[in-house]
Amino acid sequence: MTLIPGLSNTLWYFIAYGAVTALAMRFMPKNKRKKILTYTPQGSHLEKGATIISMISKYAAMLVSLFVPIAMNPLTLWAGNALYAVGLTLATLAMWQFSKAELDLPITSGIYRISRNPMQVMGFVLCIGIAVIGNNVFLWILMSST
């Protein structure tokens, strides 16, 4: 772990994810953008608690990634970038499919046929990709709880 943040830190992967997400949302209708960005607490206290822990761990991982350099091991670099690219691509595809669907009907086509929450699942995949790229135990723990 480096004490000085720099250009070779894994935070850049989070920044890229945020930029792609912001760009994708820019082209969505306002009502669909609002639905994606609004947290609606549902379920039991356990489910609500798990959601809060997931959100906190994701923000903590972003903070930690500021100090985690990109691992220069070719295997972890390639594997992590592959996971990150798959997660980013499919999360963006899920947002695009969501933007084309009716708000009052469940989405059952495309990637939503496989998962009811593909944006969250793919966000998890790309977070694991970042953990592989950083090859840092603490980042692994935070990412696996997102």
Residue 88: per-residue pLDDT: 96
What is the share, in percent, of the chain residues with pLDDT greater than 70?
Answer: 91
Closest to 36 measured CA to CA, from 108, 91, 109, 86: 91
SS3 38: coil
Residues 18-73: tens digit of each pLDDT: 999 999 888 888 888 887 777 666 678 887 887 788 788 888 988 888 888 888 88
Phi-psi label, residue 17: left if phi above 0, alpha if psi -120 to 50, beta otherwise = alpha
- The Cα 111–Cα 60 span in angstroms is 29
Q: Distance of CA 39 to CAs 67, 101, 136, Å?
A: 29, 19, 30
- The Cα 59–Cα 37 span in angstroms is 16
Higher local confidence (pLDDT), 104 or 77: 77
pTM: predicted TM-score of the whole model, two decimal places: 0.83
Residue 57: per-residue pLDDT: 86
Work out the average pLDDT over 64-86: 91
Work out the average pLDDT over 9-22: 91
pLDDT at 4 over 80: no
CB-based contact 36:25 (threshold 8 Å): yes
Residue 133: per-residue pLDDT: 92
